[in-house]
Chain A
Amino acid sequence: MTGAIFKDHASDRNVKAKWWTKRIVIYAALLSWTVICLFPIFWTITTSFKLAPDVMKGNLIPWWDFTPRWKGWESIGLSPRLIGEVSTVREEFLKRFWNSTVVSISSSLLAVVMGSLAAYGLSRFNYRFGFMRNSDISFFFLSQMILPPVVLALPFLVLYKSLALLDSRIGLILLYTLMVLPIVIWIMRDQFHGIPIELEEAALVDGLGIWGAFIQIVLPIALPGMVAAFILSLVLCWNEYFFAALLTATNATTLPVMVASQTGSQGINWWSMAALSSAAIMPLVIVAIFLEKYIIKGMAAGAVK
Chain B
Amino acid sequence: MPEAAEIAKPSSTPLKWEYATSTEATDILDLESRYGLFIDGEFVKPKSRKYFESINPATEETIAEVAEAGEADVDAAVAAARRAHSDVWGSMPGSERAKHIFRIARMIQERSRELAVLETLDGGKPIKEARDVDLPLAAAHFFYYAGWADKLDYAFPGVRPESLGVAGQVIPWNFPMMMLAWKVAPALAAGNTVVLKPAETTPLTALLLGQIAVEAGLPPGVFNVVTGAGDTGAAVVGHEDVDKVAFTGSTAVGKIIQSQLAGTNKKLTLELGGKAAHIIFEDAPLDQAVEGVINGIFFNQGHVCCAGSRLLVQENIHDRFVDKLKKRLATLRVGDPLDKNTDVGAINSRAQLDKINELVEAGRSEGAEMYQPDCSLPERGFFFRPTLFTNVAQSHRIAQEEIFGPVLSILSFRTPEEAVEKANNTPYGLSAGVWTTKGSRILWMADQLKAGVVWANTYNKFDPASPFGGYKESGFGREGGRHGLLPYLKWSEG
A and B interact physically: no
